[in-house]
Amino acid sequence: MADVIRICFVCLGNIVRSPLAENLFNHLAEQAGVAHKYEVDSAGTSAWHIGEAPDARMRRVAARRGLTYQGRSRQFMRQDFNQFDLVVAMDLENLSDLHGLARSNGHEKKIYLLRAFDPYGGPRTGVPDPYYGGIDGFEETYDIIERSCQGLLRALEEGQGEGKVDSE
């Protein structure tokens, strides 16, 4: 088992959902005293927003809840599979795109859907993209990602001996 579990959260543009997941997971791991066990990053399946900061609306929602973060968007590349132990998609389209990039069974086994870890989600449920909607959508997305990251962290900590999570 690796000393550190490397996780990459992936959405479409890497400006709303995946950077929030990256920062929320880090925050939750710090609160639980296990941050030293994880290296976390995020990326997008598209190149649309490369180099851009996370969406200001999501950062405002997060800041009202005590989470502040920065960062710059980047695109997920095939070679990222070699750098990460888990690649966590935000929705079914991102999941499909990641499977399309995977070139081995080893890569395939690293891909998970975030809401598989949400008690109100499931193995085929995605995190909604609030980009074109109002602030309520950003609030809902924050809640979903927070619950899902809590579930993922719990699954990782409970399965630490095997170094694996079960997405079913």
Which member of 8, 11, 74, 85 is catalytic?
Answer: 11
Residue 129 designated active-site: yes
Which member of 17, 59, 74, 147 is catalytic?
Answer: 17
Residue 91 designated active-site: no
Residue 11 designated active-site: yes
Which member of 85, 118, 129, 147 is catalytic?
Answer: 129
SS (H, E, C) the chain: CCCCEEEEEEECCCCCHHHHHHHHHHHHHHHCCCHHHEEEEEEECCCCCCCCCCCHHHHHHHHHCCCCCCCCCCECCHHHHHCCCEEEECCHHHHHHHHHHCCCHHHHCCEEEHHHHCCCCCCCCCCCCCCCCCHHHHHHHHHHHHHHHHHHHHHHHHCCCCCCCCCC
Active-site residue numbers? 11, 17, 129
